[in-house]
Amino acid sequence: MTTTPLKCPSAFGILLSSTLAAGTVASASAEPSFSHKHNHQHSQTEIGCSDPMAEGQRVLRLGSLMPTAHAVTPAAIHPWPFPPLSIGHTSASYQNYSGEAYFHHGLDIRGAAGTPILASVGGRVANIENYIPGNLAYWEVAILDDEGFLWQYHHIEKSSIPAGIWNSWRNGVKVEAGAKLGEIFKWGNYSFGERYDHLHLNVLASGGTYMSPFLFLESLPDRVAPAILAAGVLQGGRSVDDSDVDGPYSLYATIHDLILHTKYVVPPHRVEIAIDGAASELVWDFQSLPGGANINRSVDEFFVPDMTCGDYTCRELTINLAFKPEPLALNNNHDVRKFPTTPGQHFAVVSAWDFEGNSVSKKIEWTVIKPTIIEP
């Protein structure tokens, strides 16, 4: 079978403004300011195409009357929209297809194209939208649940959305948990030798804060802990082979996790570090994104850009252990953890957990040496 490249409509920074009290959702799109294009080889029999840049790249602006819940743990746990084949990405996953990195901000739940997508929780149909206009891969059905969380189900085959769901949206009628919202779209890309058919699920709280959908869904049979593949000293954004430190430095850890798969690497859910035997300090816990509603903020501070990649063919995840959760009021970024500068030997223990509580730890050792003094 011959193949031909399909050009997907590029999209970036699409704005969504919602005013649910009036029962309307208005959207406007803005063309990107860059000319970067992705051409992927697809079979001519494929339906539509997938533009990596379009994957959730929206600045979500919730209207002032949007009754979304605060970013807290939900009161109820819900079933999955369908039995997952595996998890392709988590909300913490690093994404960079064009030079601007972002947190994936939702779950890629893999399932075969045509698999029915069922509402995990009932609520009001808040939106049905082709949020990348003209691209058939980017249809959304959104449900506002009774706790005030907004569930966005992305990559639904438009023709499979039942008439009852359309009517519920138009008339402001609630749907029950388990209602069919549509079916998984036939994705246009392969990743690591497998077709990447999937549902992208976002769950949003007040202010558009992206919450980890794991908080809302039943446990998965994941009993394998993350793996710390490497850890050591970081200087100038790069790892150094020598553990003798002279000058500014940080520590890093390359941490990979797998969820029901052998290739789709995802980051850990929680990372901590204990320095020189002191109490553990939090690096980050992905119950929500560090930037709340901003999927770009802090991604290059949490991950080490020169040692991290995330696209259809490359997944390497290296975390800068200097990252701290406390925001700085002046620049709205995150503080930087300070490591020992006292000459001598030092050590740290980095620990990582997945969402199911499986954990791994690794010790890092290094020596701070006295600066070389050059005699006049």
pLDDT, one tens digit per residue, over 152-163 is 999 999 999 999
Band the pLDDT of 217: cuts 50, 70, 90.
very high
pLDDT of amino acid 237 = 86
Q: Give phi and psi for 326, each to the nearest 5.
A: -75, 125
What integer pLDDT is reported at residue 73 of this predicted model?
Answer: 67
Please choose, from the candidates 206, 202, 203, 204, the residue with its C-alpha nearest in 3D space to the C-alpha of residue 70: 206
Query: DSSP characters for 220-241?
Result: P---PPPEEEEEEEEETTEE-S
**∠ CA(296), CA(297), CA(303), 5° rounding?**
85
pLDDT value at residue 51: 34
**0.85 exceeded by the pTM?**
no
> How many CB atoms are located within 10 Å of the residue 309 CB?
17
Q: What are the pLDDT digits (tens) for 346-370? A: 999 999 999 999 999 999 999 999 7
Residue 21 burial by CB count (10 A; 0-12/13-18/19+): exposed, middle or buried? exposed
> Any idea how long the chain is?
376
Task: Calculate mean pLDDT across residues 233-255.
Answer: 91
> Which of 174-188, 246-260, 359-373 has the weakest average pLDDT?
359-373
The answer, yes or no, to whether residue 255 has pLDDT greater than 50, is yes
Q: Which fold has domain 3-216?
A: Glucose Permease (Domain IIA) (2.70.70)
Residue 342 DSSP SS3: coil
Nearest Cα to Cα of residue 107 among 130, 125, 134, 88: 88
Q: What is the per-residue pLDDT across 323-347, written as a single tens digit (0 to 9) for each?
A: 998 664 445 556 789 999 999 999 9
- Over residues 216-237, mean pLDDT: 94
Residue 46 — very low, low, confident or very high, per pLDDT cuts 50/70/90?
very low
**Which pLDDT belongs to residue 206?**
84
Taking residues 142-156, report their average pLDDT: 95
Residue 359 CA to residue 354 CA, distance in Å, equals 7
| Residue predicted with more confidence, 174 or 60 | 174
CA dihedral 301, 302, 307, 309 (to 10 degrees): -110
- pLDDT value at 373 more than 60: no
Residue 151 has pLDDT above 50, yes or no: yes
Q: What is the pLDDT of residue 370?
A: 78
Average pLDDT in the chain: 80
Residue 12 confidence (pLDDT): 23
Is the confidence at residue 56, as pLDDT, over 70?
Answer: no
47 — pLDDT class (breaks 50, 70, 90): very low
Domain map of the chain by residue range? 3-216, 227-368
Q: What is the pLDDT of residue 72?
A: 64
User: Are the C-beta atoms of residues 199 and 111 closer than 8 Å to each other?
Assistant: yes
CA separation for the pair 277, 161 (Å, rounded): 56
Does 62 score more than 70 pLDDT? no
Q: Please give the average per-residue pLDDT across 252-262, as a whole number.
A: 96
